[in-house]
A and B are shown apart, each in its own frame.
Chain A
Amino acid sequence: MTSAGTPGGTSGERRAWGWVTSLRKGGTTPWAAWTGEAEARGRVLPGAQQLELLRRLNEAGRPEPQLVRRVLEASAPGRGRPDLELVGAVDPGPFGPRPVDPADLPDDELVRVATSVLAEDLAATALPDHADPARRGPGRPPWRRRFRLVGDPWLADAARHALAERGRHPGGRGATVLVLADDLATMLTDAWRSRVLGEGAPPWRDWLDDAVSRDRVPPRVDVLRALRTWSDRVGCDRVRLVLDPAALPRLAGTRRPLPPAPALPADGAELARRTAPVLGLLALPERRARLLREALLPRLVAAGGPPLGVPAELEGWVHDRAEWVRREVLAAGYPVVGDVDRLLPRVREGAREPSDAGVLDLAVRLLLAGASQDHQRGSEDR
């Protein structure tokens, strides 16, 4: 291990400390091209992953000194490769992982370190001090239109939140059950994104491949199952399959249009997926859930990027399933609000899966932007 304890250090160690000093000042020279030397300035050399992430940050902008320090002190969270030594800085000994050229590290390794720092930013975010809108307001008067929102969780959560903001809370006796749905390809991405911000999710392709291999639509977006379950429970006349978002306000007893569900891009969803478990170690579950929805999600949506889509090789399966669902809905005679053909996949541009490079680029941008202005740093309310 390279250390400050070795008097003066070897030439390789001095070169490594020279690179650290350069990076601290905003340098962008790759390790392989670096030649300068400096004295040790710490207990141990930061790992190759941390140093390369800092170099990428320097390439993309001007990180604040505090961010520089935090990146250099960060460790990659979770299981995976340990902090690695720089090749050429130390003699590869018989023990420990092999030293590496940081330029050879996969983006995925740098994302690991970035999620740790990003999770710290989130954990230090001050959230607006208000109760859940769903819990506010007086009781529901008996004449108010009663509804229950089920179906696509991404659409339902967004609609539920927007309606609750207007004092329109779902539930109550005799409520009409509104099964929100969209085309199956979109609903699959919705179900995965909802899990990402909820209990956590495996990578998009793993999750999707699992559903396809079982030839089953995930329960959250299984429209037929929802229609059957609720029809059995409350009667078919109190259930609507809602495929026209514009009709939803009327069905929920309000007139103003509802805001669309957040458009979380493919890389943003993946970054959220990677960051959420780390945040689980920095914030209690209820606060973690709010931080993901109220602090991280808006930043990821604002950062933009291509939406997530279904890989080309699975489009056939998705189309067949969607066609089958459409036929069953028509055959069973469920009341439909909107055009039933909206259940069928539409041609949409987008990413078939998140890319490591895109996720790293996004993480770097978020780290450089830091906590947003209206979110004051303060971990005291953790």
Chain B
Amino acid sequence: MSAKVLLHVGTPKTGTSYVQDVLFRNQRLLAEHGILYPADRFDAHFLAALDLMRLPWGGLETEAVGAWDRLAERVREHRGTAIVSHEILATASRSQVGRALESLGHGSGTEVHLVLSVRDLVRQIPAEWQENVKHRSTLSYAAFLEQVRDPARESRIATWFWGVQEIPDILDRWGHDLPPERVHLVTVPPPGGAPELLWQRFSRVFGLGDVDLDLHAERANPSLGVPETALLRRVNRAANKVVEPAHYRPLVRELLAHQTLSRRIRSPRLALPPAVHPWAQQLAAAWSEEVARRGYDVVGDLADLAGAPPLSRWSDPDRPAEKQVAGAAVDAIKALLLENVRLREEEARLHGELDEARRALDRSYLRPSYRLREKLVRRLQGGRAGRGALAVYRRLRGRSSRSA
């Protein structure tokens, strides 16, 4: 049984991909310090979360069968500190939280600590819309904002958004059984601060200060600008019905969004419309007050949740500058062309291999007796008498084989 489990449950877009990448790549080093990050693949904890929450995810869930139980078993078998981290856990229901905590050893002697990394709504709202677009959504930014702000919260967009973003509610569900000193809130610093500050906060809460980790990031979840997101939404509208999720992930999300469009960093950034700002900041103030009242361990500063003031020049992704979208589209076409070249070369190579395999097969395919019987049937089928004989034979054969 683990002595201590650090359970990081969100929220999305708070540097979680970076944290998980560092933990994944440094597993061996962490193990030398008695810290377990149990993952045989980068997305192991994501799959475990899908399994725990029974969350279909465009076919990826087929790889998640039993993943949570396997993860929890490894955590229970470890004698030290274990870290579990995935941001979609934030949306787990109360009963799923109960199952998760119990399976990790809560109530059986394990000291479970909850970690929730949080960022201001001013950045989170546009980031969530962008995540939706990167997951095939065609919803406009205005419609997204309308659904998120609807007090009824009945749409799929709204239930997911608040499920992973409403800090007091997430802490209600996840921290319900834990004393407040074991609930740690890591705040994301405001934009423009030292880039290493967020990692330092994570490092402190995970107790990694003494471990000389390789902090070079291989994976991240980079953001897109306004014209790039608008382009992607148009691509979704045009291609969703003809591109299956299994192809969408590598081609659109990875190749186009992450590897190509995210490199265009000089385009206008997505931001909250100035008119929505006061509502978001009012909400953030209420959350900060509630969190402070509950007495959780805050790593960082609750003032970080206030967010930056509205932009003086806000760019609307529903009405982007077409010249900028065209620029992004050219980059996208170039990337797809290069990928096509790579695939054509690969296709030519495989054709060569296949031809060689066919030639080898032809040399050894048919046994002589089979060839003979086939030749006989073909010859019989060529003449009237032969066809008659074959029909008689088939009738007799049918009768005799009926009981078989």
Contact = CB atoms under 8 A, between A and B. Distances in A.
24 contacts: A1-B172, A3-B176, A5-B176, A75-B53, A77-B56, A78-B54, A79-B159, A79-B160, A80-B156, A81-B154, A94-B286, A95-B168, A95-B290, A96-B169, A97-B159, A97-B169, A119-B54, A142-B377, A145-B394, A210-B241, A254-B398, A280-B62, A280-B65, A284-B62
Given A75-B93, A210-B241, A281-B65, A1 B176 contact: yes
Given A142-B373, A255-B402, 10 more contacts: A1-B94, A47-B94, A47-B95, A82-B91, A97-B162, A254-B398, A255-B398, A281-B50, A282-B65, A285-B62
Interface string A238-271: 0000000000000001110000000000000000
A47 B169 contact: no
B377 A75 contact: no
B374 A82 contact: no
B95 A77 contact: no
A82 B168 contact: no
Interface of A: 1, 3, 5, 43-44, 46-47, 73-83, 94-98, 116, 119, 141-145, 167, 173, 210, 253-255, 277-278, 280-285, 288, 382
Contacts of B53: 75, 77
B374 A95 contact: no
Contacts of B241: 210
B373 A141 contact: yes
Interface residues of B, number: 49
Contact of A74 (B95, B168, B287, B290): B95
A277 B56 CA distance: 6
Nearest to B91: A82
Given A1-B173, A142-B374, A280-B62, A82 B56 contact: no
Interface string B141-158: 000000000011110100
B133 to A, nearest CB: 16
A278 B54 contact: yes
B329 to A, nearest CB: 24
Given A81-B159, A141-B373, A277-B61, A44 B393 contact: no
A278 B202 CA distance: 34
Contacts of B349: none
B168 to A, nearest CB: 4
Contacts of A278: 54, 56
Contacts of A95: 166, 168-169, 172, 287, 290
Given A82-B93, A95-B166, A95-B290, A77 B54 contact: yes
8 closest Cβ pairs, A-B complex = A77-B54, A75-B93, A277-B56, A96-B169, A95-B168, A142-B373, A83-B93, A142-B374
A46 B95 contact: yes
A144 B395 CA distance: 11
Contacts of A141: 373
Contacts of B65: 280-284, 382
A80 B53 CA distance: 12
A46 B370 CA distance: 67
B54 A75 contact: yes
Contact of A281 (B56, B163, B370, B402): B56
A44 B154 contact: no
A301 B241 CA distance: 30
B290 A281 contact: no
A143 to B, nearest CB: 6
B10 to A, nearest CB: 14
Given A1-B176, A94-B286, A95-B172, A173 B374 contact: yes
Interface string B85-125: 00000010111101000000000000000000000000000
Interface in B348-397: 370, 373-374, 376-377, 390, 393-394, 397
B177 interface: yes
B55 interface: yes
B394 A253 contact: yes
Given A1-B173, A79-B55, A141-B373, A43 B93 contact: no
A327 to B, nearest CB: 28
Contacts of A382: 65-66
Contact of B159 (A43, A44, A82, A288): A82
Contacts of A210: 241
B194 interface: no
B246 to A, nearest CB: 10
Contacts of B91: 82
Contact of B61 (A1, A82, A280): A280
B232 interface: no
B19 interface: no
Given A97-B153, A142-B370, A43 B160 contact: no
B64 interface: yes
Nearest to B168: A95
Interface in B160-213: 160, 162-163, 166, 168-169, 172-173, 176-177
Which has the most chain B C-beta neighbours within 10 Å: A74, A76, A80, A82? Answer: A82
Contacts of B393: 143
Contacts of B390: 143
A79 B287 CA distance: 24
A119 B352 CA distance: 46
A50 to B, nearest CB: 8
A281 B93 contact: no
Contacts of B168: 94-96
Contacts of A79: 55, 156, 159-160
A274 to B, nearest CB: 11
B96 A281 contact: no
